Amino acid sequence: MNFTQTIYILQQIISKSFGKDFLWGVAIAAAQNEGAYNVDGRGLSIWDAFAKRKNKIIGGATPFDACDFYYRYKDDLLLVKALGFKVFRFSFSWSRIFPDGIGRVNKEGVAFYHKVIDECLLLGLIPYVTLYHWDLPLALEKEGGWTSRLFQKWFGKYVTFCAEEFGDKIKNWIVLNEPMGFTSLGYMIGKHAPGKIGLSNFLPAVHNAVLAQSEGGRILRSEVPKARIGTSFSCCEVVPYSQRKEDMEAVNRMDILLNRLFIEPAIGRGYPHDNFVLMDKLHLHSKAWKYKEKMQFNFDFIGIQNYFSVTVKYNPIIPIVQASEVKASTRKVPHTDMGWEINADSFYRMLKRFWHYGSVKEIMVTESGAFFKDTIQNGAVHDFQRIDYFQQYLAAMQKAMKEGVKINGYLAWTLMDNFEWTEGYKAKFGLIHVDPKTQLRTIKDSGYWWRNFLMNK
């Protein structure tokens, strides 16, 4: 039996095990795909400004053109349909709707999102909208952004407008995308926009994000009849490098940050603690005891986004967390070209873990994918490693579902190669190859694999 036959048999076995109502889809984000950053009244976002800073993004790349989705959305949605997907997840650019973050509404931006939604519905695609996918209006960042005491007011007005404007068409909502990602990378270590550093930025950003995810849910519940409301969390299994007490304690600290910090307040448990000094600081800063009820919301589903597991060891040089990663390449275990460990069993355990909180009604895998270097031959784009990755992770999800974890959908990241934050256009996660110079789209082997997979369901 050759490799192609093996793939075909495996995909038939996996695909037939999911019910007909299971939701298969792809996800994109505004800042990474839309382009058209300064046309039709759109205001600047923090990523537009961050990209202009020297040595922040590989190759000096910018999101200014990205994948040109703003002009090519009809063709790209036809590709989503052609590959057999049912769900299309995308995000609103806050600054395309409110150029100044608040106040004046940009009618052209609103009209654009109506056109995208209408095209989805015309094609029989279910639109899932993310309200915030990391691209805060620059005007609000100048007033403090996620660290500001005014943030809840700003966010509430934005969510209310979106609910009232689009709620008759959009019934599936994701409030925030990976709050740990944008608060830590953007407001603690400065690697992502807006490039702020330190606990004085991180702690208020975390607290505002915790409040925003739940308040956004409440606004949607009150404004959108029959809405299905979720929010998405990044997560990863944290494994000790050794069984030494110091390494085990380091695991606990990292686990609080990477897995517990945002889900536990949302389900009514408040902020985690477990003798971690950073949590003392967060409790003191936020006066969490006053906000416990406001931090909670009964989401219809929780979005899980698991890209890797992480092995850590005690490192006293690292401030506060006192832990550092032992890279997958150092441990000589399978990893993507981003250096992220490939571990489908870990993905399975994280699905089980979030389900066992007991307060989660349903899980949706709102992003899942990997960066591998593609091989281009005679105009075809080959990416067998990505196909293997998807097969492993779908099998792990299937196992979790058989053991009682309620999962209603899986969204591949991502439809097409895009602006991958500080990696620029180097890290390619797409099912479709995009030439950033010509914008030519070429379906990869993994895209055709998905088409065949979904046809066999």
Confidence check: pLDDT of 260 > 70: yes
Which of 178, 215, 237, 420 is labelled catalytic? 178
Each residue's pLDDT tens digit, 354-371:
999 999 999 999 999 999
Alpha-carbon gap, residue 235 to 354, rounded angstroms: 9
Whether residue 99 lies inside any domain: the answer is yes
Whether residue 328 lies inside any domain: the answer is no
Whether residue 193 lies inside any domain: the answer is yes
Whether residue 122 lies inside any domain: the answer is yes
Task: Report which residue type is found at 255.
Answer: D
Q: What is the DSSP letter of 416?
A: B
Alpha-carbon gap, residue 138 to 119, rounded angstroms: 29
CB-based contact 129:173 (threshold 8 Å): yes
For residue 410, what are its two tokens? 């899986």
pTM of the model: 0.96
What CATH number does the domain containing 91 carry?
Answer: 3.20.20.80
pLDDT given at position 1: 46
Whether residue 375 lies inside any domain: the answer is yes
For residue 70, what are its two tokens? 């703003």
Q: What is the DSSP letter of 421?
A: G
CB-based contact 134:192 (threshold 8 Å): yes
Strands across the sheet containing 238-240: 238-240, 310-314, 323-325
Please return the burial class of 84, using the count of CB atoms within 10 Å of its CB with bins 0-12, 13-18 and 19+. middle
Task: Report which residue type is found at 384.
Answer: F
Please return the burial class of 245, using the count of CB atoms within 10 Å of its CB with bins 0-12, 13-18 and 19+. exposed
DSSP string, 213-233: HHHHHHHHHHHSTT-EEEEEE
Question: Is residue 119 annotated as part of the catalytic site, yes or no?
Answer: no
If one counts the domains in the chain, the total is 1
Each residue's pLDDT tens digit, 375-415:
999 999 999 999 999 999 999 999 999 999 999 999 999 99
For residue 344, what are its two tokens? 């489908």
Alpha-carbon gap, residue 416 to 434, rounded angstroms: 6
Whether residue 330 lies inside any domain: the answer is no
436 versus 390: which is more confidently predicted?
390
Alpha-carbon gap, residue 66 to 133, rounded angstroms: 15
Residue 354's nearest CA partner among 255, 273, 283, 242 is 255
Whether residue 361 lies inside any domain: the answer is yes
Which of 34, 119, 341, 367 is labelled catalytic? 367
pLDDT given at position 3: 44
Question: Is residue 143 annotated as part of the catalytic site, yes or no?
Answer: no
Domain range for 219: 3-240+256-308+336-455
Owner of token pair 């930025």: 201
Confidence check: pLDDT of 6 > 60: no
Whether residue 314 lies inside any domain: the answer is no
